[in-house]
Structure 1
């Protein structure tokens, strides 16, 4: 999306840019991009979360998948898929729709219609817009992330499904327990999303600068190919910068201690696992997040093109 496009310009569908209809389309695109993609890699996420809680549980990722399949059955590889689908669909709605909204809002507030000023401050705008969007999106994600992690890291799983998990958690620990991982979730997701959107925008911009033709002269398929490539490279950076907080989220949601502040719990866990423990499961997360991010941008921009909107970047 070009933040310098005037509001009166309309794509072929008749959706006016930066209107409620436009943001609704982007929000729906975020749901389509995030819910199914996160759900599809549930087996990798399951192994990652279990290894973060107990690094000695499996000798490796493939060994972990084989062990679960052999001992527990194929269905158990998708433990937590219900919470994953709903949680990340809601997060995707807030993240992508919110990013488009805040990117345009901050651009207008800081730069007006001055294209040169926007280009000078665009990185800061991308960072602020993505951080704001993720801050709000995580409020919707957090309860479902808590149930997902608890389902995946208790063996056997403490619940039969999402609703059963919600009911049991609220009954034993109270509603507040669903948000005990909110701060570490913010610590994981906000830097992740800031890197995801900002690096994507700048990587895509760089790719286009080296291509022989400008973006508006390229085919839709070529533009979506650029989005896919930029998404994968951005995903690698996302995985690295957010991984320590991801480990903390898994540890905190797995434990039953409720009498500590987030800072006390994090300090205690860090003493147990040390600096190296913060990087357990990073290779599988790089593969998982790189793949996720690339396909999310592929799906999101394909959806935008389908409804007649321009690709992102």
Structure 2
């Protein structure tokens, strides 16, 4: 057994990902995000309407959905599907590939196994935040288009008409009006998604020997991945809910004039603590499905493409 001093000097093996590997990470992330977010469009429509329409504020996901269908027809539940699919294709690719890239960079900076494990929480937080920041540059204009289409009935017939109308009437400023609130929303979301998922897997594997882990059946692996994704989804929804509510209101045109931070502060005061969490229940359901589905699809696509696994720095035992 190596001494404590020797353990500190154990070099950390960090895989050298190629451009092709990152391309696989991007494609897998893009597909898993666009598939899951596209499938969740009806739930997201109801959630957004609950947040911004006072007549729906007290409704549940199911009663709100029934009311929308009764008044506007079933097609209303697919409003914003185009911007959702395209926006999250770009954002999902950037986020997943970015997380893999930044985690590798931070692990490399740690230099040795013990240091990387000791500071793994900071590594997860930093990688999730950095990856999400750059991904949101791609997402923001399309998310603004989606919310405008959902919140204003008849605003546009599809992605191209909605995007061009928003650009024509408000310019780049309106397309990126929600960038700061999106960061406030998506970075906590990514932190919950990746960090909690990492620790859930760590807890599941900590009591297993390497031999046991290698012999896990496909159903056992699926169970661990699914349960970890669901828990991570709940965490992501709770952490990002206040900013998600404010983002919907900003893109609806609510709030006073002024800087974005002033508008967010004023809206938060107007909405109140309870109001910031309106629609949390439906959003937790939606996010649990999104996150768990994304990790399962991401892993399956990576495996099908022969992409390497990401860097792992889990704490192997309670004694370490």
Give the alignment's TM-score, normalised by structure 1.
Answer: 0.90
Aligned counterparts of 1:241 and 1:127: Cα–Cα separation in 2: 13
Find the aligned partners of 2:214 and 2:306 in 1 and give their Cα distance.
Answer: 14
Shift of 1:5: 4.5
* Residue ranges of structure 2 left out of the alignment (5+ in a row): 1-10, 313-320
Q: Give RMSD over aligned pairs.
A: 2.0
Aligned 8 A contact 2:189 2:240 in 1: yes
Indicate which of 177, 181, 185 corresponds to 2:174: 177
Alignment correspondent of 2:129:
131
Deviations 1:38-86 (A, max 9, x none): 0111111111111111243263221221222233222221100100001
Q: How does 1:85-164 map to 2 (within 5 A)?
A: 85-111=85-111, 114-154=112-152, 156-164=153-161
Shift in Å at residue 270 of structure 1?
A: 2.2
CA shift in 2, pair 1:167/1:257, >3 Å: farther
For structure 1, list consecutive stretches of 5 or more residues without a partner in the other structure.
Answer: 8-16
* Structure-2-length-normalised TM-score: 0.88
User: How do 1:221-240 residues align onto structure 2 when only pairs under 5 Å count?
Assistant: 221-240=219-238
| Deviation sequence 1:167-223 (CA, Å, 0-9, x none) | 111121112110001001000101110121111111111111234654333245533
For residues 196 and 169 of structure 2, the distance between their equivalents in structure 1, rounded to whole angstroms, comes to 42
Partner deviation per Cα, 1:138-184 (whole Å, 9 max, x = no partner) = 00000000010111111x23111111111111121112110001001
Aligned pairs (5 A) from 1:1-313? 4-7=12-15, 17-57=16-56, 59-111=59-111, 114-154=112-152, 156-211=153-208, 214-255=212-253, 259-309=257-307
Distance 1:82 1:265 in 2: 28
Greater Cα offset, 118-127 or 69-78: 69-78
Number of aligned positions between the proteins? 299
